[in-house]
Amino acid sequence: MNGRLGGFGWQALGIFALLLLWVFLPGDGDLIPNLGDIARKAGALIESGDLGRHLLQSVSRVLAGILIAVVLALVFCLIGFHPAFRGILQGPIEIMRPVPPIAWIPVVILLFGPGGNAAIAIVTLAALFPIVTSVFAAWDGIDETYVLMAKTLGVERWKLFQRVYVPLLLEGFLIGFRMAFGLAWFSVVASEMVGSSGGLGYGIQVSSLNLEMERFFVYLLTIALCGFAMNWLVIAVFQYACPWQKSGQAHV
């Protein structure tokens, strides 16, 4: 049964069970609207273009922040190729990493002003540290015994880097990349609720203030679906790029 259904099938079954619980669970229709009202409101928002506009703004900010974070992470990882430089970088990173990205919102708004640039900066901060720390952990986890054996057998430096370092570092990068996507969505929504005039977070904030619960849940579920889709995309890339990993390990 597990082999036929697969990981995605079980997750889809869990989501279906959650929706059934939502349908049949008694509650206040004013506070938690039923799925039919939410679906009708979603159709109206799609027809008016509001949902597409807010979705495009949030997705573009997430992707822009992730892209900047990846570029910065690659620079840090190249600098950290030498253990001494890696140790120097790890100190400031470990000090700044525990600070929640949303704690930087006031500073970022002062630097970039309210709007899309501030949201992108918050996403970059949120996504940078998981990627860098995962790659550095992969660096530190490389067994030098295999490296010495390869050098003893006369393996060239480039082939050593290609066959030993790149696969392990790629695995660490993709693990951090998956965590970065989750933090990116969390951060972009929080920043849009505080200092933006568009995006799904802004839509949630306005809807909650106006007690438009159908609209609120449309934006909320849109964020959930986008995060779910991006998470599965990263898992698919992980399994393709790291075929030596078992399927289950990609879901950790």
DSSP string, 43-103: HHHHHHTHHHHHHHHHHHHHHHHHHHHHHHHHHHHHHTTSHHHHHHHHHHHHHHTTS-GGG
Question: Domains of the chain (ranges plus CATH)?
Answer: 35-251 (1.10.3720.10)
Contact 79, 89 (CB under 8 A): yes
Lowest mean pLDDT among 68-72, 170-174, 219-223: 170-174
Structure tokens at 80: 């950290």
Q: What is the pLDDT of residues 51-94, one digit of tens each?
A: 889 999 999 999 999 999 999 888 887 776 667 777 777 777 77
pLDDT value, residue 25 = 63
Distance separating alpha carbons of residues 222 and 217, to the nearest angstrom: 8
